[in-house]
Chain A
Amino acid sequence: MRIPEDTLREMLRLMYTIRAFECRARQLFEERRLRGSFMGALHSYEGEEAVAVGACIGLRPDDYILSTHRGHGHCIAKGVDVKFMMAELLGKETGISKGRGGSMHMFDPALGLLGGNGIVGGGIPLALGPAFSAQYRHTDQVTVCFFGDGAACQGNFHESLNLASLWKLPVIYICENNQYAVTTPVNESIAVANVADRAAGYGCPGEVVDGSDVLAVYRAVTEAVQRARGGAGPMLLECKTYRYQAHCMVIPDRRDPQELARWQKEHDPIRHFERYLLDQQIMDEAQQSKLNEQVHKTVEAAVTFAEASPLPHPSTVAEHLWAED
């Protein structure tokens, strides 16, 4: 599979953006915490960038994604402008969900982003819907549903995979196995070696993918998307990855620091891809660092926009509940 160089550069830009956004969001969280104000829980996607980018870069704007509580990476990879995300994190009226959603509830239906979810596994049954909708309306849109290894232990995973496969719905289930459900390691949660192995039980293909390799994710998802668009039904992909931060900003990290250091040294998705682009002579170091600087400027501009934006007025609190309002 030959990937255009522009696409490869865009992949790096998106991965840089996710890393920079998450890093800056954590800083804002800490600053505000010291001042006694809250930004919710904030679940960092750092370390998992290759999954969202590899999965979303090949999707069309009218393809749907369902995101998770750890969803900033998915939003950025699907094309959301970071300034509206940053404004949402600060609870501003200009936020992508007008300050009603926060970190875990970012939506942009025009970009196919059908939302994060505060309920672990909450998106798994919902994803059947846009997939069914495309099949019902005879379009060839696909739906990508992200979920974690923790969500893979919810009962609705079983119901949903069975129904998706039974009705050959155009949905790609992507398990982001980052090795921990909050603090519980995956080998204490899941009885089989790979979540993808469970696909056999649903009569659909499953595949384990190196989640730190954006090209491996891209290739696997592209094949799954082609399959789904062609009417062959769902696929279960499991991307093995690792999160660099604790589950969220309000839960202490109890993981072995050496384990984290090993993943960062050997499997960092951004370092890995930077080396690839160097080796292939697609981008040299100077170009990469220039791109990274641009990304940081964009994220900083997003912070400026967010901070300058107005908070929602309390008199508007009841808006957006009912369709007729």
Chain B
Amino acid sequence: MREVSYVKALNEALSEEMARDESVFLIGEDLVELGGGSGATKGLAERFGTHRVRQTPLSEAAFVGLAVGAAMTGLRPVVEIMYVDFVTVCMDQIVNQAAKLRYMSGGQLTIPLVIRSQGGGGTSEAAQHSQSLEAWFAHTPGLKVVMPATAADAKGLLKSAIRDDNPVIFLEHKLLYATKGPAPREEYLIPLGQADVKRPGQDITLVATSFMVHKSLAAAEAVADKISVEVIDPRTLIPLDIDCINTSVQKTGRLLVVQEACTHGGFGSEIVRRVTEQCFGALKTAPRVLGGANLPMPFSHPLETACIPQEEKIIDQIERMVTDA
């Protein structure tokens, strides 16, 4: 299979869906020449015209509101918020409007909307450009939440998100855009709500999201001679493929969730809650969450690195959990 970058995979997904369905349009900042914050929309204005690739003023409340209203009336908007940190200025449109309109209208309205954004740290962009905010959205009933970690997943999940009739928050990671991986050139879909076992194993279940999938895989490889680690990427938080995680924990008896988001109130705790409720008898040791520090992301490199779960910490945690029991 050919290798493709994560950002190119996103670009292909957008391009294929725009070619397939005229009601799909893109809206956001700097989408035309720059190709958006990541380059994911590069070339699409040339191919589909600027009436379908709408470059906006810096007015997130207005253009996210526009997208919600356009979705209410039959279009399929794909919004780009340049950094997920900027959702705070359009949170009303996402949380109070997009997420609730279908329910409040007794099912009369349909909101087929995708909001793409990039999260994560690792590039010294400090506290307002480095957050992982998936838990905010997962905590809002009515939103689906997708976090692809590979190029193949990025393409297949984005295409499914665009065809989904619900509001979908699609969270990319800034360190993943340049990464390459195998992904089919032809069209394919990955359903929302289907986890992927990225590495099979017997001794401990690692559930990791976004960029942490890669760090977890590296950690699993590093301990492979003594510990067999199963790495699961849920890929979508809402809906969550809890069955896949439960099946794994039934086998391994150990659960470690690795997330970049700060640990307090994070989605990792939710996974631990559900596994504890459903697989308590199978657990050989207390399930744990290895997450980001409960701090605003610092600028300086050593401080930033200290806030994000690193491979050595994951290895240490795996070893402690396996020897504990």
Chain B residues near A124 (CB-CB < 8 A): 65
B110 contacts across to A, CB distance below 8 A: 323
Q: How far is the CA of A228 from the CA of B164 in the complex (A)?
A: 32
* A125 within 8 A of partner (CB): yes
**Which listed residue (B62, B70, B73) contacts A160, Cβ 8 A?**
B62
Return chain B residues, CB-CB under 8 Å to A119. 92, 96-97
Give the interface segment out of A91-99, A216-224, A270-278: A91-99
Chain A's closest residue to B113 (CB) is A129
- Name the segment of B99-107, B177-185, B264-272, B283-291 touching the other chain: B99-107
Contact check, A122 vs B106: say whether CB atoms are below 8 A apart. Answer: no
Shortest B121–chain A CB gap in Å is 28
Asked whether, in the complex, the Cβ of A115 is within 8 Å of the Cβ of B65, the reply is no
Q: Is the CB of B93 within 8 A of A125?
A: yes
Could you say which residues of chain A place their CB within 8 Å of the CB of B102?
320-323
Are A133 and B104 in touch, CB under 8 angstroms?
no
**Contact digits for B59-81, partner A, Cβ 8 Å, 1 yes 0 no:** 10111111111111111000000
Q: Does A319 contact B (CB under 8 A)?
A: yes
Is B51 in contact with chain A by the CB < 8 A criterion?
yes
Rounded to whole angstroms, the CA-CA distance of A117 and B72 in the bound complex is: 14
On whether the beta carbons of A324 and B165 are closer than 8 Å, the reply is yes
**Residue B88 CB within 8 A of the other chain:** no
Residues of chain A within 8 A (CB-CB) of B70 are 129-130, 132-133, 136
B107 / chain A contacts, CB cutoff of 8 Å:
98, 319-320
- CB A127 to nearest CB in B, in angstroms, measures 6
Partner of B109, one of A96, A109, A163, A166: A109
Docked-complex contact B141 and A321, CB < 8 angstroms: yes
CB-defined contacts of A156 to chain B, threshold 8 Å: 61-62, 65, 92
Report Cα–Cα, A105/B165, bound state, in Å: 21
Q: Does B57 contact A (CB under 8 A)?
A: yes
The reply to whether the CB of B211 lies closer than 8 angstroms to some CB of chain A is: no
Interface string of A114-150 (1 = CB under 8 A from B): 1101110010111111111110110000000000000
Let me know if A125 and B64 touch, CB within 8 A. Answer: yes
B89 (CB) vs chain A CBs: closest residue: A155
B56 and A133 form a contact (CB under 8 A): no
The listed residue with most B CB atoms (<10 A of its CB), out of A95, A107, A117, A162, is A107
A125-B104 in contact given A115-B109, A159-B59 (Cβ < 8 Å): no
A107's partner among B61, B63, B108 (CB-CB below 8 A) is B108
Whether, in the assembled complex, B201 has its beta carbon less than 8 Å from a beta carbon of chain A, the answer is no
> How many residues of A sit at the interface, in one of the four size bands?
35 or more
Q: Does B25 contact A (CB under 8 A)?
A: yes
Contact bitstring B226-244, A, C-beta under 8 A = 1, else 0: 0000000000000000000
Residue of A96, A130, A131, A324 most packed against chain B (CB within 10 A): A130
Which of B57, B70, B110 has most A Cβ within 10 Å? B70
- The number of residue pairs between A and B whose CB atoms lie closer than 8 Å in the complex comes to 145
Pair A132/B57 contact, Cβ less than 8 Å: no
Asked if B166 CB lies within 8 Å of chain A CBs, one says yes
> Is A198 part of the binding interface, using a Cβ–Cβ cutoff of 8 Å?
no
Q: Is the CB of A133 within 8 A of B69?
A: yes
A66 CA / B141 CA spacing, docked (Å): 23
Q: Decide if A100 touches B103 in the complex (CB within 8 Å).
A: yes
Q: Closest CB of chain B to A153's CB: distance in Å?
A: 14
How far is A136 from B97 in the complex, measured between Cα atoms in Å?
22
Contact residues in A for B108 (Cβ distance below 8 Å): 97, 107-109
B253 at the interface (CB under 8 A from A): no
Beta-carbon contact of A114 and B69 below 8 Å: yes
Given known contacts A97-B104, A97-B105, A320-B107, is B72 in contact with A125 (CB within 8 Å)?
A: no
B102-135, CB under 8 A of A: which get 1 and which 0?
1111111111100000000000000000000000
Q: Which residue of A lies closest to B105 (CB)?
A: A107
- Check if A101 is an interface residue, CB within 8 A of chain B: yes
A21 at the interface (CB under 8 A from B): no
Q: Which residues of B have CB within 8 Å of A66? A: 69
Q: Does A16 contact B (CB under 8 A)?
A: no
B142 within 8 A of A: yes
- Structural contact, A126 and B97, CB atoms closer than 8 A: yes
Q: Roughly how many angstroms separate A166 CA and B111 CA in the complex, as a whole number? A: 25
CA distance A96 to B108 in the complex (A): 9
A322–B64 CA distance with the chains assembled, in angstroms = 20
A160:B65 contact, CB within 8 angstroms: yes
**Cβ contacts B244-277/A at 8 Å (1 or 0 each):** 0000000000000000000000000000000000
Looking at the assembled complex, report how far the CB atom of B54 sits from the nearest CB atom of chain A, in whole angstroms: 8
Q: Is A242 an interface residue (CB 8 A)?
A: no
The contact of B62 among A122, A163, A324, by CB within 8 Å, is A163
CB of B66 within 8 A of CB of A320, answer no
Q: Which residues of B contact A (CB under 8 A)?
A: 25, 51, 56-57, 59, 61-75, 92-93, 96-97, 101-112, 141-142, 164-166
Of all A-B residue pairs in the complex, the 5 with the closest CB atoms, nearest first, are A129-B69, A125-B65, A98-B106, A323-B165, A320-B107
Given A129-B68, A132-B69, 16 more A-B residue pairs with CB atoms under 8 Å apart are A95-B106, A105-B105, A107-B109, A118-B96, A119-B97, A122-B96, A125-B68, A126-B69, A127-B65, A128-B62, A129-B67, A130-B72, A159-B57, A160-B59, A320-B105, A321-B102
